[in-house]
Structure 1
Amino acid sequence: MFPEFTLENVDLGEVALRVRHGGHGPAVLLVHGHPRTHTTWHRLAPLLAEDHTVVCPDLRGYGQSSKPATDDDHAPYSKRRMAADCLALMRSLGHETFHVVGHDRGGYVATRLALDHPSAVTHLTALDVVPIGEALARCDADFATRWWHWFFRAQPSPGPETVIGNNLSLWYQETPEDMGQESWEDLQRALGDPRTIHAMCEDYRAGLGVDRRHDDEDQAAGRRVRCPTLVLWGTKSDLPLLYQDVAAVWRDWVAGELAAKGVESGHHIAEEAPARLAEELRSAWAGVETPVQGP
């Protein structure tokens, strides 16, 4: 995986992040989702590294990165703190500005990074996700049925951790064929650590509390993403089933240019359609028009 990339642990003070980086050119930060590690990008990152410097960290709590103690508000696992980690990481590697691409819960981190640090983010891409505050505001029976895991993992510790830890193969059914053998093995190592399971549940607990408050505060104050934004979703994923017009959901969150479309893929676009994703990203970063699409 990741030919000619450097793998290291970067100490940022509060946390140390495992990160893989390589390539040459404008900087791109790739932010994974749950339950993945940075290796989810192993099919995409080498394609982008042909003309970009690509940085792929494990978020705090995930993979081999630090798993700090939590608090009653679950703020140590808020997307604001994760976004601050990412900013510190990029600056430690010498990148003052960069594109950010976030998938799944990493999409919430990427969006928070663009909202909190607009001078750093030149372009935002959100993969198969809508903002947390928007998802919860629109929550209905269909959402609660399809994404019930949001509410289960957010229950008080140690209930979810115990249930998940007692049957990992039931909860995480990824296969080496889907992910690639090395990436799958990396995920298995992460999931074998009870601290990782706890940290991932903390991510969800923060999502229903402090993260939603941050999103609601931004909406009330009129804060929006100012940089050009690309939203992509898998046509075979749950997102187009939950939201008839995904682009319309994002319009209230983006003050800058917004492009949005579905791509033929399931939820894990970077693993299932890496060449198509690389093409879409390069077009967006080059300023090539990618029209907003409806249902």
Structure 2
Amino acid sequence: MEIPGFDYQRVTVADGVTLNAATAGAGSPVVLLHGFPQTHVMWRHVATDLAADHTVVCLDLRGYGDSDKPADGYAKRVMAADVVTAARVLGHDRFALAGHDRGALVAVRAGLDHPDAVSHLAALDVVPTLDTWDVLHGVSAAVAFHLYLMAQPPGLPEAMISAAPDVFFGHFLDAWSVDPAAIPADVREHYLHSCRAAVPSIVADYRASAGVDVEHDRADRDAGNTLRMPVTVVQQDWGAALGYDARAVWAAWAPDLVHETTTRGHFMAEEAPGEVTKALRDLLTR
């Protein structure tokens, strides 16, 4: 599935790995990274709007969608380097970066590792990896059962998910939506089809976030490293639900922070594209 009006190409980033890239528009560059269990298609409304006055690049992350799915390389540090390299190959040494869910974790790592490349950063409906594990506790952690499942050693999670992939991935598309109509049947099938073909790489992505990604975040926290660029975070009120101050969590990483909550569902770029586009446009003026 493609976003109408966007041009598509393969971009080689590292060790022969190629990413699927969709590009449209002209003006200052904005790179958009999707979340789970989706592909770059989740940005179809926002990307089309932004392309009126920006060069917009939508990528399928390593291991997802139509990008390559190598056996390893799912540390967010590697995936962030993929994004920076892809942008550079496409002619953008410095760019604004927005990510949703898994893509937001990659975006944060890109902002920490490549501050000269990332001019502005937006994260939708997530907290940084290290903090994710800190805020989950007791029965409230049940909402994130998939994090614990996919953190297990190779073998069991892949077998369990592969036994009923549509049930597994479809659960999140249903449970995390406020407006199911925002993901029409053809888009839903595209997401499910893409996930069926990517179970090992999706699990590897999540497994990294229970291991090496935590180590990298902790090293940055211990060193006092923060995101130097303007940052906007838009998320559901998970802080109230899980008993933590979401804005304070983000402020520790992002001194120049705008933090907003939404009443829409997790898939806000599809359920409330106008709200998300406005947040991104406001960010780009800072």
Per the normalisation by structure 1, the TM-score is: 0.89
Identity within the alignment, %: 39
1:226 is matched with which residue?
Answer: 228
Q: Does 1:171 align with 2:149?
A: no
Give the whole-Å Cα distance in 2 for the aligned partners of 1:11 and 1:139. 37
Structure 2, unaligned runs of 5 or more: 175-179
Q: Does 1:190 align with 2:194?
A: yes
* SS class of match (2:62): coil
Structure 2 letter corresponding to 1:130: V
* Contact residue 41 and residue 271 of structure 1 kept, 8 A: yes
Trace 1:82-161 onto structure 2 (pairs within 5 A): 82-161=79-158
2:248 is matched with which residue?
Answer: 248
* SS class of match (2:265): coil
Trace 1:279-294 onto structure 2 (pairs within 5 A): 279-287=278-286
- Count of residue pairs the alignment pairs up: 277
Query: What CA deviation, in whole Å up to 9, does each residue of 1:254-273 have, x standing for no partner?
Result: 13x11101122111110110
Give the whole-Å Cα distance in 2 for the aligned partners of 1:23 and 1:239. 36
Cα deviation, residue 180, structure 1: 3.2
Structure 1, unaligned runs of 5 or more: 71-75, 288-295
* Contact residue 142 and residue 242 of structure 1 kept, 8 A: no
Give the whole-Å Cα distance in 1 for the aligned partners of 2:21 and 2:51. 15
Give the whole-Å Cα distance in 2 for the aligned partners of 1:254 and 1:109. 15
* Contact residue 231 and residue 257 of structure 2 kept, 8 A: yes
2:32 is matched with which residue?
Answer: 30
Give the whole-Å Cα distance in 2 for the aligned partners of 1:119 and 1:166. 44
* SS class of match (1:124): strand
Structure 1 letter corresponding to 2:195: L
Give the whole-Å Cα distance in 2 for the aligned partners of 1:164 and 1:274. 30
* SS class of match (2:221): helix
2:177 is matched with which residue?
Answer: none
Query: What CA deviation, in whole Å up to 9, does each residue of 1:218-260 have, x standing for no partner?
Result: 000011001011011135xx454125431111111113x1110
Cα deviation, residue 161, structure 1: 1.1
Q: CA RMSD in A?
A: 1.6
Structure 1 letter corresponding to 2:200: H
1:292 is matched with which residue?
Answer: none
User: Given the superposition, is the C-alpha separation of residues 143 and 31 from structure 1 closer, same or farther in structure 2, using an over 3 Å criterion?
Assistant: farther
Query: What CA deviation, in whole Å up to 9, does each residue of 1:127-171 have, x standing for no partner?
Result: 011101012133311442211110101112221111111112221
Per the normalisation by structure 2, the TM-score is: 0.92
- State the 4+ residue runs in structure 1 displaced beyond 4 angstroms: none
Cα deviation, residue 199, structure 1: 0.5
